[in-house]
Amino acid sequence: SQQGEEDPQALSIQEGENATMNCSYKTSINNLQWYRQNSGRGLVHLILIRSNEREKHSGRLRVTLDTSKKSSSLLITASRAADTASYFCATDNYGQNFVFGPGTRLSVLP
């Protein structure tokens, strides 16, 4: 299975701190995406990183990809209470459909 696995499963930090979540996968990928989900709502796309890219930034988000280790990380800097949500990685294996990991539940305490 190419399923992504995020860790940690849950993360609790104070507002203003940085949050780092990791994703590991098992097979070669075309791209890897990160999504966010507020409780009981739909998922929102955050960022896509292609297999030939090593790092991408979007606002307070920084994503890295290490294809040799089959892993990715999502860093949220200067976290806010509104960042409280579940974060998922999804891998795309060259046209096969996206497979999501179980997610990391992030709690940002004011």
Partner 1 sequence: ETGVTQTPRHLVMGMTNKKSLKCEQHLGHNAMYWYKQSAKKPLELMFVYSLEERVENNSVPSRFSPECPNSSHLFLHLHTLQPEDSALYLCASSQDNTGELFFGEGSRLTVL
The pair of structure tokens assigned to 5 is 């696995």
For partner 1, the closer CB: 14 or 30: 30
Among 43, 49, 63, 85, binds partner 1 (CB under 8 A): 43
The pair of structure tokens assigned to 54 is 């090593």
- Give me the least distance between CB of 15 and partner 1, in Å please: 27
| Residue 3 region by backbone torsions, left for phi larger than 0, else alpha for psi between -120 and 50, else beta | beta
The pair of structure tokens assigned to 53 is 């890219």
For partner 1, the closer CB: 33 or 84: 33
Among 20, 31, 73, 107, binds partner 1 (CB under 8 A): 31
Q: Does 40 bind partner 1 (CB under 8 A)?
A: yes
Q: Which neighbouring-strand residues pair with 11?
A: 106
